[in-house]
Amino acid sequence: MLVGALLPWASTVLPGGAYPDRATLQFFDAPHLVSGFRLHLVLLGVLAALLSRARKPAGIGVAVIALVHMGFLIGLGAPSIGGPVALAGGLLLMWPGLTAPAPELKPPGPAVARLVLLVAFAALVWLVSETLTAGGQSRATNPYGGAEFLAFCGLVLALACALSAYGVLAWLAALTDRHRFFAFSVMLVCALALPFTDAGTGYWMTVASTIGVYAATAIGLNIVVGLAGLLDLGYVAFLGIGAFTAANLAHVVPFPVAALAGTATAGILGIVVGAPTLRVRGDYLAIVTLAFGEIFFRAAQNNIGGLTGGANSIPGIPPISMFGHAFDKPLGVLPAGSLYYAVTVVMVAVAMVMLVNLRHSRTGRAWAAIREDEDVARAMGVRTGRAKILAFLVGSMMAGLAGAVFAHKLGTVGYESFDFSESVTLLAAVVLGGMGTVPGAVVGASLLFVLPEKLREFSDYRLMLFGLALILIMRFRPRGLVSS
């Protein structure tokens, strides 16, 4: 075990031999500099050496980083010595498989609890900002951006596993649950503070607000799929309906009215789609919703009714403008796009509150009962038809609102943003994150919409990697990353 703990250290010393000039990863270009990969490995080595419970998580992290590093070097046509050594070290660390259950930590007093939550959420935002900016904006500025990002993810994964091994994550979850209102406020404030971190540039704000739009949509889908158990494969159509409605009204009415109209239109169409599907369940429901998504997509593509612009899309949608300030311009010290980011944060927060409040209500229990056993739910007096339509209504309204923000933010709305693969990605976000849980949809949406942004060099393999990630999650965390 001690050898295992030391191996990652060894790997930081080993490389430095005759590598081609191309291999200028930080791992090699400065043999004695402790940064990038090297810093991560050193940190994990220290972690493994000092804390016995954290050995396995550290091993996972080392293995991931080593794999990433090796993969990139092989991609560059260079052999790697440090990589295999680090991989061996990581695997050795994982070997003993410490199975001791995580210790139960006692909840502290309210004052301490609040302080802890404050620190925890601040740290989380910092981590999000670091994760977002890890590896730079794109391949153009940093050819190893993808590798650096993945390696950083490895470090984050290891840290999360280590915290979980010490029972800290469960403890924090319990604290959040106990001080729900406080935790929620702190989270909101911390999330709104993201523009003040390293991620506070126009580019990252745009990325973050796009994620926000998809996160809100994913929460809406989570109501339909996660709470009520209605598998909807055409859900992205409602995002499209909201977006096209707002786009058509953008020059006529101010944003709040356009957003309301988008929400209402999507809601009405949600009922229209929901009503005829009441008689079908499970697989059949999935097929019907899939067909609806396709109908919407084809109708938008062919510009039926002249409402979607067809292949030309609808360009020139004005940005949201309030109090005489256009939302796409910087505001004071805040970079451009911060206001859109704030709008999406508030939208996601509202969606979260809705999801939680509905879940703990008569309606939410009726949905859960339908999900678990529809016949019995009916026998217990639940009006199943009405409840299912309500789920479709609430879910599609959420997507419609997100769509309206989406249209104003992008300035252009085209049908190709709403194809089947987007529905699948949203569904994958819900399943990956954890069905029916609040943070689940947000975590899932963030991952699935950040990763393609970060890993442009892998864009050809995107769907394959998705599949792989889904299989891994289903194997190791069958109830999602954030299970209830």
Partner 1 sequence: MTLTAERVSMTFGGLVALDDVTLAVPGNRITGLIGPNGAGKTTLFNCLTGLYAPTSGRILLDGRPLAADPAQAMRGGVARTFQNIRLFPGMSALDNVLVGRHTRIKQGLLAALLHGPGFRKSEAAATERARAELEFVGLGPEGHMPARSLAYGDQRRLEIARALAGDPAVLMLDEPTAGMNGTETADISALITAIRDRGIAVVVIEHDTKFIFSLCDHVYVLVRGRMLVDGPPATVRTDPRVIEAYLGATECSK
Give the residues lining the site for partner 1 (CB under 8 A): 354, 357-358, 360-366, 368-369, 371-373, 375-383, 390
Q: Cβ distance 7 to 89 under 8 Å? A: yes
Q: Write down the least CB distance from residue 436 to partner 1, Å.
A: 9
Residue 382 or 413: which CB sits closer to partner 1?
A: 382
Q: Write down the least CB distance from residue 263 to partner 1, Å.
A: 14
Q: Write down the least CB distance from residue 274 to partner 1, Å.
A: 15
Q: Secondary structure of the chain: what % helix, strand, coil (to 5)? A: 70, 0, 25
Q: Write down the least CB distance from residue 231 to partner 1, Å.
A: 16
Alpha helices in 316-437 (DSSP H): 338-359, 362-372, 374-379, 384-410, 420-433
Residue 364 or 403: which CB sits closer to partner 1?
A: 364
Q: Write down the least CB distance from residue 377 to partner 1, Å.
A: 7
The sign of the CA dihedral 85, 90, 91, 96 is positive
Backbone angles phi, psi at 201, to 5 degrees: -120, 160
Name the residue type at position 117.
L
Q: Cβ distance 433 to 271 under 8 Å? A: no
Give the CA angle between residues 196, 197, 200 to the nearest 5°. 70
Residue 271 or 376: which CB sits closer to partner 1?
A: 376
Q: Write down the least CB distance from residue 291 to partner 1, Å.
A: 28
Distance, CA of 234 to CA of 296 (rounded, Å): 9
Lookup: tokens for 119: 């620190």
Residue 22 or 386: which CB sits closer to partner 1?
A: 386
Q: Write down the least CB distance from residue 376 to partner 1, Å.
A: 5
Residue 357 or 459: which CB sits closer to partner 1?
A: 357
Residue 377 or 429: which CB sits closer to partner 1?
A: 377
Residue 104 or 372: which CB sits closer to partner 1?
A: 372
Question: If DSSP codes are grouped into helix, strand and coil, which group holds residue 321?
Answer: strand
- Measuring CA to CA, how many Å separate 475 from each of 63, 332, 351, 471, 480? 19, 48, 29, 6, 10
Full DSSP string of 265-313: HHHHHHHHHHGGGGG--HHHHHHHHHHHHHHHHHHHHTTGGGSS-GGG-
